[in-house]
């Protein structure tokens, strides 16, 4: 006997999350809910609990969409078996058909391919799926509550895809001891006796189901007056959101909230709730921006100043250095000792200077043809590319129907009907672009710590990071200074988190170049175990100096050879700004078999010739 899901009413805290789910259940046209939060914050628990509520109303089911699903699996495709057996065109519906009148759940939606996210969101907005392919035209109803969950540390959705979700909720574990205690108590009670625990909350969940059903009946009659429409338009204009989708989502959500609370007219409180759920994620114009909504501005626009004290903001997870402890004061200085003199104690660190403004960079590419996940950087054979050939084996991506039928026809005809065989199957060979693992190795030593130079280096690194975000790369950041290298950011697709780490880090001390290269080699080796198809590109930002320990330059050459042995491609960005140039970055580039760019050459308008030589 299967265990019942955790009851919706038993979820501790997360009031805004539960409300967002309820409002989308009342009015699916809102466009679904995106739930963002760290691991272990009851995201999936809440989704499954909602599905249980809806199943009691109209028999709704929960359909989960696997991350690796194909487009045919999602929207449906030609029924090839009937075509070959009966000579008839027939359509086989996909997951979106099964999700009709239910909940479509996509866990880790930020890892889902962009074209599939577009398909899902279009279906959620229109309530219908139209398929035009393989000579078949088909349409079917698909009205569902779309819910996606994601951990921002594992990567972001593109802003244009983020905007397509009606509502977004950020969830995090409470820092209050009493709340955390209650969460533990509830979970342990559920695990000890799932049936009994569910029975304790059966009446409360039934009441939620009744209220949702009543709100669905009432929602069509809720009046959204001209004054309230004006407030919504003024609100979206004041917060400078793009397009008209935000206005429509706020309006639909406000109506749903009014219906949920049993009102016949939309009021300011409904608009406030709708704005808090629908606008914060639409204000992000840049992957480095923090999502959020200014409560004071919201109060002013809605004409409601008496909202009580503001809650204390959650602590900044990046307020301390990744290694722990408190950040050093900005005024601290690096040691005044020369590089050749002994150092009785570690050189004090200072914070890197504010980065210069970012700029557009040319693409740096990994040579050769890869097989990695779809992206926009290096050439690869993957399922998102254009068809460039046909394979009779198992090395292609998807069935090439025409070539398969042609092989069948050329082999045999029996009884006037094609009889396909396994050997007739032909796969499409596609070539497109892939995303790579871009590892930034940043020299943060004393020779780089002059404020104007470090500002330029940070600005260049952030510019490269923005480019990596746009090209669907995973990124990692390593800094080296004093006597060690530090993995400032493990591989992630979150440009927001990477940007925060690159904009502020410790500088000063000697230049352990070898340690930085060895740290990059170790990271490449570990990541190959996780995903052998994602090819690495190591971008080293340094002036090429190596100090500290015996034969630092020799150790750097050995470390460079190890990085090359791991199969990593590299680019060296020469950050030397002295009038008399030593050219040490060029020596490093030779050891890595990599092109070398001067810092000013990173700008798009100055990089064309160099990139061609690196491609």
| 37 assigned to some structural domain | yes
| 17 assigned to some structural domain | yes
**pLDDT value at residue 536:** 94
| 213 assigned to some structural domain | no
**pLDDT value at residue 282:** 83
Binned at pLDDT 50, 70 and 90, residue 318 comes out as very low
Q: Is residue 299 domain-shared with residue 387, that is, in the same domain?
A: no
Provide long-range contacts, Cβ within 8 A and 24+ apart, for 41-46.
Answer: 41/14, 41/171, 41/172, 41/173, 42/11, 42/14, 42/171, 42/183, 43/149, 43/171, 44/107, 44/149, 45/5, 45/6, 45/11, 46/8, 46/11, 46/14, 46/17, 46/18, 46/21
The listed range with the strongest mean pLDDT (2-6, 400-404, 435-439, 466-470) is 435-439
Q: Is residue 264 domain-shared with residue 393, that is, in the same domain?
A: no
| 587 assigned to some structural domain | yes
**562 a catalytic residue:** no
- Comparison of pLDDT for 595 and 311, the residue scoring more: 595
Binned at pLDDT 50, 70 and 90, residue 611 comes out as very low
| 334 assigned to some structural domain | no
Q: Is residue 172 domain-shared with residue 33, that is, in the same domain?
A: yes
Last-in-domain residue among 142, 170, 203: 203
Angle of the 202-219 helix axis to the 43-58 helix axis, nearest 10: 70
Distance in angstroms (rounded) separating the CA atoms of residues 143 and 152: 28
Last-in-domain residue among 412, 433, 454: 433
Q: Is residue 168 domain-shared with residue 44, that is, in the same domain?
A: yes
What is the average per-residue pLDDT within 367-389?
81
**pLDDT value at residue 146:** 86
**pLDDT value at residue 309:** 46
Q: Is residue 17 domain-shared with residue 147, that is, in the same domain?
A: yes
**pLDDT value at residue 287:** 65
pLDDT at 260 exceeding the cut of 90: yes
Give the chain's count of helices (H) and strands (E).
Answer: 21, 20
Q: Is 485 helix (H, G, I), strand (E, B) or coil?
A: strand
Residue partners of 322: CB distance under 8 A and separation at least 6: 486, 488, 489, 501
**pLDDT value at residue 418:** 65
Q: Is residue 69 domain-shared with residue 172, that is, in the same domain?
A: yes
The CATH number linked to 172 is 3.40.50.300
Percentage of the residues of the chain whose pLDDT score is greater than 90: 35
| Cα separation values, 99 from 42, 75, 77, 203, Å | 22, 11, 16, 27
Please give the tally of structural domains in the chain.
4
- Comparison of pLDDT for 359 and 253, the residue scoring more: 253
pLDDT tens, residue by residue, 33-82: 999 988 888 899 999 999 899 888 887 888 999 877 888 888 887 666 66
Q: Is residue 422 domain-shared with residue 442, that is, in the same domain?
A: no
Q: Is residue 402 domain-shared with residue 477, that is, in the same domain?
A: no
pLDDT tens, residue by residue, 135-168: 667 888 998 888 999 888 777 777 667 877 899 9
Enclosing domain of residue 302? 220-311
pLDDT at 423 exceeding the cut of 90: no
What is the average per-residue pLDDT within 488-497?
84
Distance in angstroms (rounded) separating the CA atoms of residues 553 and 450: 22
pLDDT at 339 exceeding the cut of 50: no
Q: Is 6 helix (H, G, I), strand (E, B) or coil?
A: coil
Q: Is residue 426 domain-shared with residue 548, that is, in the same domain?
A: no
Distance of CA 363 to the CA centre of its chain: 21
| 67 assigned to some structural domain | yes
Distance of CA 279 to the CA centre of its chain: 19
Q: Is residue 195 domain-shared with residue 239, that is, in the same domain?
A: no
pTM value is 0.66
Among 148-162, 329-343, 400-414, 463-477, the range scoring the smallest mean pLDDT is 329-343
pLDDT at 571 exceeding the cut of 80: yes
Q: Is residue 423 domain-shared with residue 476, that is, in the same domain?
A: no
pLDDT at 479 exceeding the cut of 80: yes
**pLDDT value at residue 227:** 92
| 259 assigned to some structural domain | yes
Q: 211, 245, 581, 603: which is the annotated catalytic residue?
A: 245
Q: Is residue 69 domain-shared with residue 152, that is, in the same domain?
A: yes
pLDDT tens, residue by residue, 192-237: 999 999 999 999 999 999 999 999 999 999 999 999 999 999 999 8
| 184 assigned to some structural domain | yes
Last-in-domain residue among 391, 415, 433: 433
Distance in angstroms (rounded) separating the CA atoms of residues 582 and 289: 38
């Amino acid at each position: 006997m299967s265990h019942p899901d955790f009851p919706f009413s038993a979820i501790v805290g997360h009031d805004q999350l539960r409300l967002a789910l309820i409002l989308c259940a009342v009015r699916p046209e809102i466009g679904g809910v995106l739930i963002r939060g760290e691991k272990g914050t009851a995201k999936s628990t809440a989704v499954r609990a909602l599905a249980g509520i809806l199943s009691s109303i109209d028999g709704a089911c929960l359909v989960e969409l696997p991350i690796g699903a194909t487009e045919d699996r999602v929207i449906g495709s030609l029924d090839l078996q009937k075509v070959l057996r009966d000579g008839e065109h027939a359509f086989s519906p996909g997951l979106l058909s099964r999700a009709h009148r239910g909940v479509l759940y996509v866990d880790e939606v930020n890892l889902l391919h962009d074209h599939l996210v577009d398909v899902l969101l279009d279906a959620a907005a229109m309530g219908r799926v139209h398929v035009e392919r393989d000579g078949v035209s088909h349409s079917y109803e698909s009205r569902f509550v779309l819910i996606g969950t994601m951990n921002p540390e594992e990567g972001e959705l593109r802003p244009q895809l983020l905007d397509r979700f009606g509502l977004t909720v950020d969830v995090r574990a409470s820092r209050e001891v009493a709340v955390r205690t209650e969460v533990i108590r509830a979970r342990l009670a559920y695990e000890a006796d799932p049936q009994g625990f569910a029975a304790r909350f059966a009446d409360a969940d039934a009441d939620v189901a009744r209220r949702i059903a009543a709100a669905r009946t009432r929602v069509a009659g809720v009046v959204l007056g001209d004054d309230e429409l004006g407030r919504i338009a003024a609100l979206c204009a004041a917060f400078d959101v793009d397009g008209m989708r935000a206005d429509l989502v706020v309006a639909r959500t406000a109506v749903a909230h009014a219906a949920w609370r049993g009102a016949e007219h939309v009021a300011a409180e409904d608009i406030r709730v709708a704005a808090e759920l629908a606008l914060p994620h639409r204000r992000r114009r840049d992957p480095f921006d923090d999502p959020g909504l200014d409560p004071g501005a919201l109060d002013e626009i809605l004409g409601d100043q008496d909202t009580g004290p503001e809650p204390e903001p959650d602590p900044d997870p990046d307020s301390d250095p990744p290694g722990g402890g408190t950040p050093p004061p900005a005024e601290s200085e690096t040691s005044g000792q020369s590089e050749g003199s002994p150092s009785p104690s570690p050189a004090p660190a200072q914070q890197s200077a504010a980065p210069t403004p970012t700029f557009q960079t040319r693409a740096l590419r990994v040579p050769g043809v890869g097989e990695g996940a779809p992206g926009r950087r290096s050439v690869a054979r993957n399922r998102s590319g254009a068809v460039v050939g046909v394979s009779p084996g198992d090395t292609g991506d998807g069935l090439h129907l025409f070539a398969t039928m042609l092989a069948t026809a050329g082999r045999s005809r029996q009884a006037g009907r094609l009889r396909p065989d396994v050997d007739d199957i032909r796969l499409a060979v596609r070539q497109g672009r892939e995303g790579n693992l871009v590892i930034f190795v940043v020299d943060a030593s004393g020779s780089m710590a002059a404020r104007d130079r470090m500002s330029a280096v940070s600005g260049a690194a952030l510019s490269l990071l923005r480019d990596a975000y746009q090209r669907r790369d995973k990124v990692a950041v390593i800094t080296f200074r004093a006597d060690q290298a530090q993995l400032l950011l493990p591989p992630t697709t979150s440009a927001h988190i990477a940007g925060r780490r690159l904009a502020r880090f410790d500088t000063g001390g000697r230049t352990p170049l070898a340690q930085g290269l060895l740290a990059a080699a170790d990271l490449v080796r570990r990541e190959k175990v996780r995903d052998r198809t994602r090819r690495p590109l190591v971008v080293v930002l340094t002036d090429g100096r190596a100090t500290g320990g015996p034969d630092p330059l020799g150790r750097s050459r050995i470390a460079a050879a190890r990085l090359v042995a791991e199969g990593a491609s590299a680019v060296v960005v020469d950050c030397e700004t002295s009038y008399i140039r030593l050219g040490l970055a060029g020596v490093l580039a030779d050891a890595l078999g990599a092109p070398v760019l001067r810092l000013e050459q990173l700008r798009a308008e100055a990089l064309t010739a160099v990139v061609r030589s690196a491609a």
